[in-house]
Chains A and B, each alone.
Chain A
Amino acid sequence: MNNPSQIESLKIRIAAGTDSARAVVERSVNAAEQLNETLNAFLDIGRNASLARANSVGTHGGLLAGVPIAIKDNICVRGMQTSCGSNILGNYQPPYNATVVERLLNEGAVIIGKTNCDEFAMGSSNENSAFGAVKNPWDIHRVPGGSSGGSAAAVAAGIVPVALGSDTGGSVRQPASLCGVVGLKPTYGRNSRYGLVAFASSLDQVGIFGTTAADVATVLRVIAGRDEHDSTTADVPVPDYANEIRAPIAGARLGFPRALYGEGLDDEVRESVQNVVEVYRQLGAEIVEVDLPHAQYAIAVYYIIATAEASSNLARFDGVRYGFRAEEAPELRQMYRKTRDEGFGPEVKRRIMLGTYVLSAGYYDAYYRKAQQVRTLIKNDFRNAFAECDAIITPTAPTTAFAIGEKVDDPLAMYLNDIYTVTANLAGVPGINVPCGLSSERLPIGFQLLGPYWSEPVLLRLSHAYQEARPFTERPPVFAQ
């Protein structure tokens, strides 16, 4: 097998005594430290705690015993910082673990560090981090995508086999595409967000990065499911995703939304994803044309709803209970304003202000209510499409990784990176990026599969089938030794 499950092979080596959890974790921590000067993927690396834990999980029988994992820095891990890539939180140390983190630890995982991200997960390039942009391991002059760029880069560079991120409009799938790894955003309500710092609560979902669908499946089984600390988690059984992954895909109906392959899509990306469609046809899938007539409005809907929710969620950062407080503000309101001015970066301010605007008196119906109505139409589009097919195939991002600085002064151009990914968040359906080759500039290209609610087994099976048929074995120039 050319695309082996990294978790599986690691566990086999540990069980055979040819490797140890301690050695695996030490290699991972060493790589994180050594490559950080080049990639800036980590904001906090817990060397001592990771090695101590690796010693103690040697005999742990859990599904992830000894597996080193990186966590995006907007998900709380006790004993490490949670900055959300923002000066307003700085080196905030959360006193509790996110539920998804707790579940990873219960299965023996070793969390080696916190990964860099766009400030409060707002961005598509990682350039909005207060602590500097992450570099793409395929070309360090290019962005890794965002907002979970640090997690994507850490997996792509071979530092960790799997990592967690969060996906509000594509923040797992788009960086996965630009870095050449698998990235899953599950169904809304599949994973707990308790301990994930909220950005847009009706869209946020914790997602998973890995090099194979099999590894993503293993992690999803561990973290998914109802959590009484998050009322949006649904009471839906969690299957053994990894076990179901090898079922045949012949007869699967794959929806092809032709209209999404038009203007604005890079030629090489189009050609590459169309080749994937042919591979699926050869594997026995039936290709059916589907239409998502309101997808063209998704970015507009997204930037109303996401900013409205962000303006509300980020009101909590006011210099009172945690994080940064501006000095020399003798009066309370002045302290709020100075703290938020000095603590937030430009993109966060822009989005808070946009959200405040669309929710303000006199504008609510024109913007927010209208956007929620079009969101209903987008949901209906998917319902109609999934009556005809089991999954939909699209590009994940319109282009390969772009240069650092290229779009930083044009927020709207940056937002259009998410054109293929935001619909899934608006509708609540799951989506996955799978790498499908390199461009002529040796930059990764990915395709996206979208499925109905709770269809993660189908998406993972289709992804696995593709990875078996066309293994992606290329390595980036920046890669762990």
Chain B
Amino acid sequence: MPISVADIRKIAELAHIEITEDELNVFGPQMSEIVQYVEQLNAVDTSNIEPALGGLTPEGERTDPARGDEIRPSLGQKVALSEAPDAASGHFRVPKVL
């Protein structure tokens, strides 16, 4: 199914990406071509086939992912904030929400 300009605008909105008119003109045909390519999967009979969720091997699935619930050292507030573009008073500061 072809992707329209309106589709691309909506997808960009959902993905929190601002795109320019120029990008729209480039991405539109490219994404349509890719979507058309992946639609070849429609030719595959997948009735009664379970989807493969995740990538784990059988051994990986048998591995207990949990660890002991114990307190351990962590980065701490100062280090965790050290790479923030705008940290203030021990918090991440962002522009106004409303």
Contact of B79 among A95, A202, A340, A344 (CB under 8 A): A95
B41's contact among A228, A371, A454, by CB below 8 Å, is which? A371
Q: Which of A95, A341, A377, A411 contacts B46 (CB 8 A)?
A: A377
Q: Determine whether the beta carbon of A357 is less than 8 Å from that of B31.
A: yes
B 15-54 to A, binary, CB cutoff 8 A, 1 in contact else 0: 1111110010011001101110111111010100111111
Interface size class of B (residues with CB under 8 A): 35 or more
Among A188, A315, A323, A341, the residue within 8 A (CB) of B19 is A341
Please name the residue on chain B nearest to A415 by beta carbon: B34
- A95 vs B27: C-alpha distance in the bound complex, in angstroms? 36
Interface pick from A27-35, A297-305, A471-479: A297-305
Decide if A37 is an interface residue (CB 8 Å cutoff). Answer: no
Q: Does chain A have a CB within 8 A of B84?
A: yes
**Digit string of A418-449 for contact with B (CB within 8 Å is 1, else 0)?**
00000001101000000000000000000000
A83: interface (CB < 8 Å)? no
A166 to B82, CA, bound (A): 27
Please determine whether B96 and A330 come into contact, CB atoms closer than 8 angstroms: yes
Chain A residues with CB under 8 A of B51: 369, 372-373, 375-376
Candidates A228, A297, A304, A334; contact of B95 at CB < 8 Å: A334
| Residues from chain A with Cβ under 8 Å of B64 in the complex | 235
Cβ–Cβ contact A303 & B38, under 8 A: yes
B55 lies within 8 A of chain A by Cβ: yes
A332-B96, A353-B27, A373-B51 given; A454·B59 CB < 8 A = yes
Check A337/B17 contact, CB under 8 A, given A226-B63, A428-B55: yes
One of B26, B27, B97 near A332 (C-beta < 8 A): B97
B12–A231 CB distance below 8 A: no
Q: Is there an interface contact between A297 and B44, defined as CB atoms closer than 8 Å?
A: yes
Contact between A232 and B55 (Cβ–Cβ < 8 Å)? yes
Do A370 and B16 touch (CB < 8 A)? no
Residues of chain B in range 40-98 having any CB-CB distance to chain A below 8 Å: 40-42, 44, 46, 49-60, 62-65, 67, 75, 79-80, 82-86, 92, 94-97
Q: Is B3 an interface residue (CB 8 A)?
A: yes
- Do A325 and B44 have beta carbons less than 8 Å apart? no
Q: A233 — which chain B residues lie within 8 A by C-beta?
A: 60, 63
Q: With A189-B57, A331-B95 given, is the CB distance from A412 to B31 under 8 Å?
A: no
Q: B52 near A376 (CB under 8 angstroms)?
A: yes
* CB pair B83 A337 closer than 8 Å: no
In whole Å, how far is A75's beta carbon from the nearest beta carbon of chain B?
17
Distance to closest chain B CB from A261 (angstroms): 21
B5 at the interface (CB under 8 A from A): no
The reply to whether B95 and A338 form a contact with Cβ atoms under 8 Å apart is no
- Separation in Å of the B32 CB from the closest CB of chain A? 11
Please report which residues of chain A, range 348-403, place their CB below 8 angstroms from some CB of chain B when the two chains form the complex: 349-350, 352-354, 356-357, 360, 367, 369-377, 379
- A interface residues (Cβ-Cβ under 8 A, vs B): 92-93, 95-96, 187-189, 201-203, 226, 228, 231-236, 294, 297, 299-301, 303-304, 311, 315, 318-325, 329-338, 340-341, 344, 346, 349-350, 352-354, 356-357, 360, 367, 369-377, 379, 411-412, 415, 425-426, 428, 453-454
A-B contact pairs, 9 of them (CB 8 A): A300-B41, A304-B38, A311-B15, A322-B83, A331-B97, A350-B27, A352-B15, A357-B11, A371-B41
